[in-house]
Structure 1
Amino acid sequence: TTDVMLDYVGYKLDDLRAAYAERVASADLSPQRAQELSEALEAGLTGYTYLSDEPLI
Structure 2
Amino acid sequence: MDWYARAGRDLPWRRSWEPYSIWVSEIMLQQTQVKTVIPYYHRWMEQFPTLEHLASAD
TM-score, shorter chain, exceeding 0.5: no
For this structure pair, what is the TM-score category when the shorter chain's length is used for normalisation? 0.3 to 0.5
TM score, norm. by length of structure 2: 0.41
TM score, norm. by length of structure 1: 0.41
User: Which structure carries more relative contact order (alpha carbon 8 Å, separation 6+)?
Assistant: 1
